[in-house]
Structure 1
Amino acid sequence: MNAEIKTITRFDVWYHPIMAQTFAEAGGVALQTVARSASHHVILNALQASHVYQVPSARDELPSPWHVTGQLLEQLPRLLCVSTNGAGYDTVDVDACTRAGVLVVNQSGANAQSVAEATIGLMLDCARRISESDRRLRSVRGFSREDLMGTEVYEKTLGIIGLGQIGTRVARIAQALGMRVIAHDPLLDAGEVQRRGASAVPLMQLLEQSDVVSLHCPRSAATRNLMNAERFAGMRKGAVFINTARGGLHDESALYAALASGHLGGAGLDVWDEEPPALDHPLLSLANVVGLYHTAGVTLEARWRMGRWAAEQILQVLAGQEAARMVNPEVFARFSQRLRATDHGLA
């Protein structure tokens, strides 16, 4: 890496200390942390001095003025790279970054095992009514054990929508539980779906056949409200719906209606349109909903990997090397030119 110090800016969300440690051991970079409560002027000055912006992935974790938009990028001419905390990049306009010659990288896979385990946990919780039993036991008496009778997942069908790193891990764990696994992923052919532990089926067939439907796809214009009233109606009566992917992939009002009517048997939700959801959110009023606060990927192990991987990847691209998790690899050549110009004091 060139002797010039490169500045990396992040906000004061929780990071594993391994990130700062990795940068300190490498040298050649300066990591600065800015409070989200700081004034607009202070935050903008910090970002304007930065070569890399380490940005939170969760929309509601970051004030909207600091989402990476074309408008913000116009004010950050020195910025070379945007690195997201996790696999998602909801806070980043990738097309705007590409137009500006800014490389975007993420930490895809860093929390895959954690999210997969949480997905299975939510599925088992809903099937066996674990949280419902716990809540009742703490508050009321006069019910029988049979009032809380659940079902086994053994020999049931799990339908996975999106068979990436997380979906593939979920499929393999489900197989170990004796489940039949089917999947829908328009980016994969049937052979690859089979290699990842599932049988490929069309979306509506998946909904019709599955006892549990679990979402593991990115949030985009194409997947917004992917699960709407029509598709919930297409699910098997009594089925369980799980979303540990992104808020906005399912229509919350439509899901409430499907649960309240008795058509669906339960839901395990880690993600919401607004995070955290309001205390009086209708879905939280239902006994057969298990809710998490976007914590499926929040484990010590996953956060260690996120911090370590992010730091190593930033150091790699600042050394002029292609990285494994580039979201817009087509911009790498232009990024490299801008990086060289910075190293030679031309930018």
Structure 2
Amino acid sequence: MSKFRIGYVGFVPHPNFLETAAKDPALEIVHIPLEASTGEAVQALSSCHGYYVMAARDELPVPLHVHAELLGKLPNLLMAASYGAGYDPCNPEDCTAAGVLLVNQAGGNAEGVAEHAVGMMLACLKRMPEAQASMIAGTARNRATLLGRELRGRVVGLVGCGNVGARVTEIVKAAFGCRVIVCDPFLDAATIAARGAEKVDFATLLAEADVVSLHCPLTPATRGMINAEAFAAMKKGVVFVTTARGSIHDEDALLAALNSGHVASAGLDVWEVEPPPTDHPLLHHRAVIASQHTAGVTQESRANITKIAALAFSELAAGRMPPRIVNPEVKARFVERYTAAFGRPPLEA
């Protein structure tokens, strides 16, 4: 069997990807400089069986996003693997149409993201962003004007209860005795209960949660779901946190809800454009704590997600189906293409 060629553009999130891949003699890594022209990058990728794809859509040039146009130029591509749990630059339907597996690294950075979300909850409830803004402005006087709240015993509402949501549930229940309610159309009540939370519908979550935290992917169904109507349906004084993806919440609607005082504070790790422009009003709002999509950017999380990505490519190179397939409906078409390329079908894990 010939070597399984994997292309990546610019950089890998952690050296662990290259170190893990180097241990497998079946893999060949092709580095494509970020400054390469689109033509040069496509030419290099056209000989690859695997494409290791940046997960943040604004980091990767649009012509190298995994959509139908690019896939049509990559006749040998069998698998695209996202750098992380998200896969914004990849279109699952287009991958399926092309017979290409789309794989993510779900769960690999769950601890980093969950800790970040809980940290933002605490910072917002204790009004840390407002306190810092007051001290910087030289208006800090009466500490009572920054009267905060404690997380203990509050109702935390999670939109999504996958790997990250389950870990957030564990933290806030064990450490703070919170009641956790979850809206997740893909999980039944028994599964959510086994993760320590209660399944509710979207309207109930918005009405009852003291803290609303997003842990769902960006899909056509979730794009813009946290809009002006959703913010208005939340409790007055709610804390809003998102470590999921930009575009799930409407930034203008959030700004209006913060300015009205209906939303007390917000923790934002993800943005419509990343990084957001320096004059973005949410960046300068007294009640916002902001970060640059860094919830999962920890040494431990990045070492983990890159290792499991390399191992997924190794599985396929060895003739076995990899884990964490986003588009399982592609399998029949994919098996045909893999068999044509390597003379034997891959085995199910």
Same fold (TM > 0.5): yes
Which residue number in structure 2 is paired with residue 73 of structure 1?
Answer: 71
**Number of residue pairs the alignment of both structures matches:** 343
Equivalent-residue separation in structure 1 for 2:302 and 2:188 (angstroms): 32
In the superposition, relative to structure 1, how do residues 142 and 227 fare at CA in structure 2: closer, same or farther (>3 Å)?
Answer: closer
Q: Does the 8 Å CA contact 1:81/1:103 hold for their aligned counterparts? A: yes
Q: Does the 8 Å CA contact 1:268/1:291 hold for their aligned counterparts? A: yes
Q: Does the 8 Å CA contact 1:240/1:265 hold for their aligned counterparts? A: yes
Equivalent-residue separation in structure 2 for 1:259 and 1:113 (angstroms): 29
Aligned residue for 1:60, secondary structure, equals coil
In the superposition, relative to structure 1, how do residues 129 and 82 fare at CA in structure 2: closer, same or farther (>3 Å)?
Answer: same
Percent identity, aligned pairs only? 45
Counterparts of 1:149-188 in structure 2, within 5 Å, are 149-176=147-174, 177-188=176-187
Equivalent-residue separation in structure 2 for 1:18 and 1:226 (angstroms): 36
Counterparts of 1:181-260 in structure 2, within 5 Å, are 181-260=180-259
Q: Establish whether residue 327 from structure 1 lines up as the match of residue 292 from structure 2.
A: no
Aligned residue for 1:266, secondary structure, equals strand
Which residue number in structure 1 is paired with residue 14 of structure 2?
Answer: 16
Q: Does the 8 Å CA contact 2:26/2:317 hold for their aligned counterparts? A: no
Cα offset, 1:338, TM superposition: 2.1
Q: Establish whether residue 340 from structure 1 lines up as the match of residue 335 from structure 2.
A: no
Equivalent-residue separation in structure 2 for 1:134 and 1:32 (angstroms): 46
Q: Does the 8 Å CA contact 1:70/1:97 hold for their aligned counterparts? A: yes
Which residue number in structure 1 is paired with residue 303 of structure 2?
Answer: 304
Q: Does the 8 Å CA contact 2:236/2:264 hold for their aligned counterparts? A: yes
For 1:271-319, what per-residue CA distance to the aligned partner results, in whole angstroms no more than 9, with x for missing partners?
1110011111121221001111000111111101111000001110122
Aligned residue for 1:278, secondary structure, equals coil
Question: Which of 82, 98, 114 is the aligned partner of 2:80?
Answer: 82
Question: Which of 3, 11, 31 is the aligned partner of 1:5?
Answer: 3
For 1:2-57, what per-residue CA distance to the aligned partner results, in whole angstroms no more than 9, with x for missing partners?
2x122110011342111111111111221121122111221111111111110011
Equivalent-residue separation in structure 2 for 1:129 and 1:35 (angstroms): 43
The one-letter amino acid of 2:81's match is: S
Structure 1, 60-69 or 123-132: larger mean CA deviation: 123-132
Aligned residue for 1:342, secondary structure, equals helix
Cα offset, 1:113, TM superposition: 1.0
Which residue number in structure 2 is paired with residue 29 of structure 1?
Answer: 27
Which residue number in structure 1 is paired with residue 347 of structure 2?
Answer: none
Cα offset, 1:99, TM superposition: 1.4
Cα offset, 1:141, TM superposition: 5.0
The one-letter amino acid of 1:84's match is: S
The one-letter amino acid of 1:342's match is: A
Equivalent-residue separation in structure 2 for 1:12 and 1:289 (angstroms): 32
Cα offset, 1:142, TM superposition: 4.7
Equivalent-residue separation in structure 2 for 1:295 and 1:326 (angstroms): 24
Structure 1, 332-341 or 55-64: larger mean CA deviation: 332-341
The one-letter amino acid of 2:298's match is: T
Equivalent-residue separation in structure 2 for 1:15 and 1:257 (angstroms): 36
Equivalent-residue separation in structure 2 for 1:182 and 1:329 (angstroms): 29
Q: Establish whether residue 107 from structure 1 lines up as the match of residue 74 from structure 2.
A: no
Cα offset, 1:123, TM superposition: 0.2
Aligned residue for 1:146, secondary structure, equals helix
Question: Which of 127, 151, 158 is the aligned partner of 2:125?
Answer: 127
Which residue number in structure 2 is paired with residue 276 of structure 1?
Answer: 275
The one-letter amino acid of 2:153's match is: E
Structure 1, 55-64 or 11-20: larger mean CA deviation: 11-20
Equivalent-residue separation in structure 2 for 1:55 and 1:195 (angstroms): 33
Q: Does the 8 Å CA contact 2:9/2:32 hold for their aligned counterparts? A: yes
The one-letter amino acid of 1:62's match is: L
The one-letter amino acid of 1:128's match is: K
Q: Does the 8 Å CA contact 1:318/1:339 hold for their aligned counterparts? A: no
Cα offset, 1:101, TM superposition: 1.1
For 1:210-259, what per-residue CA distance to the aligned partner results, in whole angstroms no more than 9, with x for missing partners?
11011111111111111111110011011101111011111111110000
The one-letter amino acid of 1:331's match is: V
Which residue number in structure 1 is paired with residue 143 of structure 2?
Answer: 145
Aligned residue for 2:28, secondary structure, equals strand
Q: Does the 8 Å CA contact 2:48/2:77 hold for their aligned counterparts? A: yes
**CA root-mean-square deviation:** 1.5
Aligned residue for 2:52, secondary structure, equals strand
Q: What 5-or-longer segments of structure 2 have no aligned partner?
A: 345-349
In the superposition, relative to structure 1, how do residues 37 and 210 fare at CA in structure 2: closer, same or farther (>3 Å)?
Answer: same
Equivalent-residue separation in structure 2 for 1:15 and 1:275 (angstroms): 17
Cα offset, 1:193, TM superposition: 1.6
Q: What 5-or-longer segments of structure 1 have no aligned partner?
A: none
Which residue number in structure 2 is paired with residue 93 of structure 1?
Answer: 91
Structure 1, 179-188 or 210-219: larger mean CA deviation: 179-188
Equivalent-residue separation in structure 1 for 2:167 and 2:33 (angstroms): 36
The one-letter amino acid of 1:179's match is: C
